[in-house]
């Protein structure tokens, strides 16, 4: 079981149980749940991937989404001993999945923005794989 904290319009380091309603477009892009932050870890991953591939077009949109990924926090994972490691693996997996299917131009933008955000010791390389 995963409990995830959506870091949207909240002060850093403060947890709240607020639910963020999903509109029609949100449901088409992120799944049928009525709330944006009521999802499994895999569903969150797919939301980030879908947004980066389908919606984020400009450098600012890409960087904005990558900031959300960077600020993503797990607050509980049954049986987990190192949440920080799980968070980092989760974040890396999003970027890796996007880079497998995106075009080269977008892939380069994502890699550049990811590095600019000084995201932990990222394993993401300069190569874009399948892009």
Could you read off the pLDDT of 34-75 as tens digits, one per residue? 888 777 889 889 999 999 999 999 999 999 999 999 988 888
pTM of the model: 0.75
Burial of 25 (0-12, 13-18, 19+ CB in 10 A): exposed
Q: Which residues pair with 5 in a beta bridge?
A: 73
Q: Provide the 3-class DSSP secondary structure of residue 35.
A: strand
The dihedrals phi and psi of 65, each to the nearest 5 degrees, come to: -70, -40
**Cα–Cα dist 72/4, whole Å:** 8
7 touches 72 (CB < 8 A): yes
Q: What are the sequence ranges of the domains in the chain?
A: 41-116
Could you read off the pLDDT of 94-130 as tens digits, one per residue? 999 999 999 999 999 999 999 888 765 566 655 454 4
Residues 6+ apart with CB under 8 A from 124: 92, 95, 96, 99, 111, 114, 115
Q: Which residues pair with 4 in a beta bridge?
A: 74
């Amino acid at each position: 079981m995963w409990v995830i904290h959506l870091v949207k319009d909240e002060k850093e380091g403060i947890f709240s149980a607020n639910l963020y309603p999903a509109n029609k477009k949100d449901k088409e892009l992120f799944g049928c749940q009525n709330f944006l932050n009521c999802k499994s870890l895999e569903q969150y991953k797919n939301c980030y991937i879908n947004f980066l591939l389908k919606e984020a077009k400009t450098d600012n949109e890409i960087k904005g989404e990558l900031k959300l990924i960077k600020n993503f926090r797990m607050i509980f994972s049954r049986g987990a001993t190192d949440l920080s490691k799980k968070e980092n693996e989760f974040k890396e997996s999003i970027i890796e999945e996007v880079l497998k299917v995106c075009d080269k131009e977008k892939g380069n933008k994502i890699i550049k923005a990811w590095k600019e955000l000084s995201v932990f010791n990222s394993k993401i390389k300069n190569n874009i794989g399948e892009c």
